[in-house]
Structure 1
Amino acid sequence: MKVKASAPGKLMLFGEHAVVYGYPCIVTSIDSEINVEIEETQTLKIEAPGVKNLSFVNETLKIFCEKFKVSSNLLIKTSSDETLKYGLGSSSAVTVALIKALCNFYKIDISKREVFDLGYKVILNVQGVGSGFDIASSVYGGTIYYIKGGQIIESLLVKKLSLIVGYSGVKADTSKIVKSLKPDFKIFDKIGKIVEEAKISLVNSDWKKTGELMNQNHKLLQELGVSTEKLDKMCEAAVVSGAYGAKLSGAGGGDCMIALVPENKIKNVESSIISVGGEIIKVKNNI
């Protein structure tokens, strides 16, 4: 018997870094997915060419099989959309997809909350730190307002966002950046207030206000020291060419930025991001 399951990646809209210290964030899922296929074998075999860190697969198996007292003698195959390699939540997506596949294979019925709790435990065991927002995004989908550890996971009724995603060309080490960041609670307080305002502006489809809040959030991330010259140039190019707002998305230090853009300005903004050395990543959001 073969079973399959999938889970989406994510884009952080507001609140990165502050979320690790108990402040809220807003995250949206994307149409880039990781797919997991499972079948029974005599010994454990993992074929995961697109998974950079197999620790997440191994830890998920360990936690799941111990909890539900089932065998790990399985052939596990993963496949993923190419775009997930750009720092868009592949570790959490493979964790959630594997939990879902294991539940399907062993006919174990658990709630989304239980999937989240298992996935969050995996992240903490592997990384040592983490807020769990990317696990929540992979489990619940759509756009969510989130507080660390799943204290709050609130789905927001947000229309699909006209977002452009730009890759800086530099791969970031999220865990390393989060661990090395010296917390600045004055900045985190400001970011927390921005998240609360963005929650309202997103639900109201007030894109101008949302863009302004993105710019403010990026400025605070610059002050934290997690942005880079390349990300700053890409964000500036986006805003100058007509975006409502732009910011880095995720841990910083590389990976991606996002820009909220009027439909009639998409080509202009994409060209501007490319002109400063960025690469446009085609993904759909709020999936």
Structure 2
Amino acid sequence: MITAKAPGKLYIAGEYAVVENGYPAILVALNQFVTCTISETNGPTGQIISQQYQNSALSWRRQGDQLVVDKRDNPFSYILAAIAVTEEYAKACGRDLRVFKMQIDSQLDNQSGRKYGLGSSAAVTVATVKALCQFYQLTVSKAQTFKLTAIAHFSVQGNGSLGDVAASVYGGWIAYHSFDRQWLANQRAILPLPTLLQLPWPNLAIEPLKVPERLKLVIGWTGKPASTSQLVDKIALFKAEHQAEYHQFLENSRRCLKAMIAGFQTNNLSAIQDQIRTNRILLANLAKRSGVAIETPLLKQLCQIAEQFGGAAKTSGAGGGDCGIVAIDHQANLAELTNAWQRAGIERLPLTVHFVAEP
């Protein structure tokens, strides 16, 4: 039996701009996981069972080297894409494909099954890729794991930056520059998968960040889920109709993130907090001009309360609900901040940063 896990994530800054080639964002991996367990089966039929989907089971069989699903409508798209891509790589590496049972367990939702916005689709894709690489005895680096997962995830979602995949693979705090997804789509059509994994991907950069000792990350959850894909699509429409304004937003975001990354590199908490506030303003202006509700009233209240205690706060990810993040001095009165959030109907999530062991 083989088990692999992948952490959830949150965006710290750089949302929306990061979907453009080469634009940076900062993300953090968190200590809540999706776990994938694989065991080989002797019969002709395999199974995928996912806690994420109310423990529903998906049966499948082999038809040659193809994995054939017995149901037309299934909620397992990311898992199936991860299997397809990893097995394509396994076959290219000379491995014989086998039949297996796969169990998926997730900590990325609350007890009622509501999502916290921690990147469950990325984490389940990473966990599946990692488990299958072990199952087929494939030695892969973090960079190769990221690329395999990015190919699988992008084949399903079709948009987004894949920063959540990077955070889930690398762990800790990272600065992420998105790659050229059109280049990937073009090369995927003509290159063998092992070659594609070895090539440098245009504009891709993933840099681990060292965090100032005084910095405490506090996460609040509004209880309202949000659809990242739908929000990103709405911003894409604004981009098409207001190209000059959108380009100015991108450049302002790039400068903000460059200064924030420098704050990490120089161990400067105040500089990091200043740029989190700047990024919040940039996103608010984008929301106003595009008509997309990035900062909901409850997220705004989350930020206002955090600022009263000396924290720098903003939405995390696409906004529209889900979580807000606060960068605050670890000596601040976090108990009072938590109580003030509770009175406003905001839940503080008891999460800590997760670091992934080398390599």
TM over 0.5, shorter chain:
yes
**CA deviation digits over 1:177-225, x for unaligned, max 9?**
1122123221221111111111111233322222221111112112222
Unaligned runs of 5+ in 1: none
Unaligned runs of 5+ in 2: 55-74, 180-200, 240-245, 288-293
* 62-71 vs 242-251, greater mean Cα deviation: 62-71
> Could you tell me which residue of structure 2 aligns to residue 65 of structure 1?
87
2: CA distance, partners of 1:223 / 1:97? 37
- Tell me if 1:180 matches 2:234: yes
**CA deviation digits over 1:46-75, x for unaligned, max 9?**
111125852100111112222322436221
2: CA distance, partners of 1:72 / 1:51? 24
Matched residue SS, 2:333? helix
- Tell me if 1:206 matches 2:206: no
**How far 1:147 moved relative to its partner?**
0.8
Matched residue SS, 2:51? coil
Q: For residues 228 and 114 of structure 1, do their structure 2 counterparts lie closer, same or farther at Cα, with a shift above 3 Å needed?
A: same
Q: Which residue of 234, 252, 256 maps to 1:190?
A: 252
* 208-217 vs 189-198, greater mean Cα deviation: 208-217
TM superposition score normalised by structure 2? 0.75
1: CA distance, partners of 2:165 / 2:33? 13
C-alpha contact (below 8 Å) 2:108/2:118 kept by paired residues: no
Runs of 4 or more off by more than 3 Å in structure 1? none
Matched residue SS, 1:47? strand
1: CA distance, partners of 2:32 / 2:109? 6
- Tell me if 1:285 matches 2:353: yes
Matched residue SS, 2:168? helix
RMSD: 1.8
Matched residue SS, 2:295? coil
Q: Which residue of 297, 311, 326 maps to 1:244?
A: 311
Amino acid at match of 2:226: A
**CA deviation digits over 1:115-157, x for unaligned, max 9?**
1111111121111112111111111111111111361111122
Amino acid at match of 2:2: V
**How far 1:286 moved relative to its partner?**
5.1
- Tell me if 1:229 matches 2:231: no
C-alpha contact (below 8 Å) 2:315/2:324 kept by paired residues: yes
- 1:162-181 alignment runs, 5 A limit: 162-181=216-235
TM superposition score normalised by structure 1? 0.93
Structure possessing the higher radius of gyration over alpha carbons: 2
> Could you tell me which residue of structure 2 aligns to residue 47 of structure 1?
49
% same residue: 32
1: CA distance, partners of 2:251 / 2:137? 44
**CA deviation digits over 1:71-126, x for unaligned, max 9?**
36221101122557301111111111111111111111122111111111112111
* 230-239 vs 261-270, greater mean Cα deviation: 261-270
Matched residue SS, 1:122? helix
2: CA distance, partners of 1:162 / 1:224? 28
**How far 1:254 moved relative to its partner?**
0.7
